[in-house]
Structure 1
Amino acid sequence: MITTFDELRLLADIGGTNARFALQTGPGQFECIEVLSCAQHATIGDAMSAYLALAGQRGYAVQSVRHAAIAIANPVESDVVSMTNHHWSFSISGLRTERNLATLLVVNDFTALAMSLPYLQPSQRERIGGGEELHGRAIGLIGPGTGLGVGGVIPAGTGWVPLASEGGHATFAPNNREEARILDFLWNEFGHVSAERLLSGMGLELIHRARTGERLAAPDITGRALDGQGAESAACEATVKMFCAILGSVAGNVALTLGATGGMYIGGGIVPRLGKLFSESQFRQRFEDKGRLSSYLARIPTYLITEQYPALIGVAAMLSAKIAAEQ
């Protein structure tokens, strides 16, 4: 039997460029997903109004929306949220009043992504390597994109609690002499070298420059690597392979730190674009390469998130928990 809500719920996943909206009609049921350009709307309230008007034109009873949740690419530490990668700034309580909402939840987008992990179906993820997840155990998350997100979720009663983390800024440790040479190169430029310095869009560029001396944008590096033609492609492919190997080591560190026997997930915008360059890389080998703890890591499965809108799944779960707690 399909369960539906008495009222539609509004969900949003907002980045610096695009705002993804959906209406939730029941558990795991998302409809009318639309992506709006942030630049085309003066405020977040205007973007919400534009989306609801569009949904209304399509026959959805948007006047029934009384509960909403927003996952946003920004710290959420007080009532006022000022985006660091866009000009939108708003008061959560003010926006709730403006929209006449009974509930408005605003959370960091990576927190919402972490909360999606227990609810992802096999069709929404791709297994990388072996291992077998233990149900009801901690789940880890790492996501290279503009920066490096690190987090996870732990079981709490019948639900889950997300772990806020700045683990992407933990100090990078090389695994071999070539990585030690790259670390030495980056020390001269930055002093402290975090994992994020290498595992991000900027990190791809830095690895490539340290290896070849060539300044190349991250999309060009991955594009040439995927092209597979010529010496330039080979150099870029080597850069991507090193990126994937380092990601495996850092993901293994996160899994050890959290005891993530419920699985370790890879999100972010970079890895899904790499295709076989990632699935056939040394990622899994390096994930397990932890000396005396290698057998422990070998039992932990690793997954690439393939769901297009996973943050909506996570923020929907958080909204349901908040509504239940308030009733």
Structure 2
Amino acid sequence: MNSSNAQSGFALVGDIGGTNARFALWRGEVLESIQVLACADYPRPEDAVRDYLLRVGEPLAGVRNVCLACAGPVGAGDFRFTNNHWVIRRDAFRAELGLSHLLLVNDFSTMAWAASRLSDEHRVQVRPGRVLDDRARLIIGPGTGLGVGSLMPLPGGGWEVLPCEGGHVDLPVTSERDFAIWQLLREKYGHVSAERVLSGSGLENLYRMSCQLDGVEARCASAAEIGERALAGDAYADAVLEHFFLWLARVAGNAVLTVGALGGVFITGGIVPRFLERFQRSGFSSAFAARGKTSGPYLDQVPVWVMTAEHPGLFGAGVALEQALKNES
């Protein structure tokens, strides 16, 4: 692919986790030919890329630019996946596939890149407010873990993504109920991070600890079952889900105060979008800004959206690659 192809936005993008690798073509800011491949079916990531291109009828020679979102901390060297056998050896990968550019980014960072360009059809506003265009945006996503990141606007246009480990901050305690659950979590885990509650396994923790406190029989074995029971009218499961949303409000609000994210908050991940209507009815919006006399007013006008795009990781990988190529031109 020559430079004109790169500027037109044609590239291969991927979003690779421990189990599945999602691939797509990025052309003119649009995702095409999305496919999901099982990592276990391929000895190496190069083999998966070749098979994907064969499946969608795209010759390898036509692809010169690739961006892969990888689950884990991405540095300058080779990348080893934590939960599968793949290793991306940058120089060998680029040479074998004949690439001009290979960009590896953290998988949650692509959520931030996606938030920089989401249209209204791919997001739902759940808290009104005023966007300050020259200030940071916060991205937070309870899913397998709790991802947190921010977007900083650049003076000449574009954005810089600031990845972090904000999911591992201390879990905030603001009520006697919070404290009682925090004590049980500390007995089990020692340090109690926000992720111990705000994730799939965290929702399960919250449910089990709540049942233990209240002397209630635990009827749900998974986060999905807790959510399903809550939506089906189970009052106890619904109360646990509500507590989850309130804790998310506190953690998100704290993160906004830390980075000055007056450009708004974008919620992603596998949990909140699944329960969007219930989330909209929750106490999240009020709890988000229910603070002291200084922090409350600071947060009061910060808007919040839920990202509803079907493949934000792939979309964000395309945006990240596009800006990287633009910066090099």
Query: TM-score scaled to structure 1, two decimals?
Result: 0.92
State the alpha-carbon separation in 1 of the partners of residues 281 and 42 from structure 2: 42
Q: What pairs up with 1:235-250 in 2 under 5 angstroms?
A: 235-250=236-251
Rounded Cα–Cα distance in structure 2 between residues aligned with 1:165 and 1:144: 15
Superposed CA deviations along residues 214-244 of structure 1, whole A, max 9, x for unmatched, are 372211111211121xxxx221111111001
- Corresponding residue for 2:72? 74
The answer to whether 1:206 aligns with 2:211 is: no
Deviations 1:187-240 (A, max 9, x none): 211221111111011111111111113372211111211121xxxx22111111
Distance in structure 1 (CA, Å) of the matches to 2:16 and 2:307: 18
Match of 1:217 among 213, 222, 246: 222
Name the SS for the 1:216 alignment partner. Answer: coil
Matched, 1:280 2:281: yes
Q: Is the 8 A contact 2:60 2:97 kept in 1?
A: no
In 1, are the aligned partners of 2:50 and 2:60 still within 8 Å (CA)? no
Question: What do the CA deviations read for 1:233-282 (whole angstroms, capped 9, x no partner)?
Answer: 22111111100110011111111111111110111111111132211111
Give the CA deviation at 1:90.
2.2
Write the distance in 1 (CA, Å) between the matches of 2:235 and 2:19. 32
Which amino acid letter does the alignment assign opposite residue 228 of structure 2? G
Output the aligned Cα RMSD.
Answer: 1.7
Opposite residue 204 of structure 1, the aligned amino acid is L
Indicate the SS of the match to 1:261. coil
2:73 alignment partner AA: P
Query: Relative to structure 2, which stretch is displaced further, 314-323 or 122-131?
Result: 314-323
2:129 counterpart SS class: coil
**CA distance 1:191–1:53, change in 2 (3 Å):** same
- Unpaired segments of 5 or more residues in structure 1? none
Contact 1:8/1:61 (<8 A) preserved: no
Corresponding residue of 1:88 = 86
Q: Secondary structure at the match of 2:116?
A: helix
Change (3 A) 1:221 1:7: closer
CA gap of 1:6–1:150, structure 2 versus 1, over 3 A, is closer
2:113–2:316 Cα contact (<8 Å) kept: yes
| Shift of residue 298, structure 1, vs aligned partner | 1.6
Q: Give the partner amino acid of 1:32.
A: S
- Preserved contact between residue 140 and residue 255 of structure 1 (Cα < 8 Å): yes
Q: How far, CA to CA, are the matches of 2:11 and 2:247 in structure 1?
A: 40
Alignment of 1:1-327 (within 5 A): 5=7, 8-26=10-28, 28-56=29-57, 60=58, 62-157=60-155, 158-213=157-212, 214=218, 216-228=221-233, 233-292=234-293, 293-327=295-329
Q: Is the 8 A contact 1:96 1:103 kept in 2?
A: yes
Q: What SS does structure 2 have at the residue aligned with 1:174? A: coil
Q: Give the drift of 1:12.
A: 0.7
Letter in 1 for 2:16: I
Q: Give the 3-state SS of the residue equivalent to 1:219 in structure 2.
A: helix
CA contact (8 A) 2:113 2:317 kept: yes
Paired amino acid for 1:186:
L
Deviation at 1:317, TM superposition (A): 2.1
How many angstroms does 1:42 deviate by? 2.1
SS at match of 1:275: helix
Following the alignment from structure 1 to structure 2, what is the Cα–Cα distance between the partners of residues 263 and 79?
A: 33
1: CA distance between counterparts of 2:92 and 2:134? 38
Q: 1:243 to 1:7 in 2, by over 3 A?
A: closer
SS in 2 for 1:203: helix
CA 1:226/1:147 → structure 2, altered by over 3 Å: closer, same or farther? same
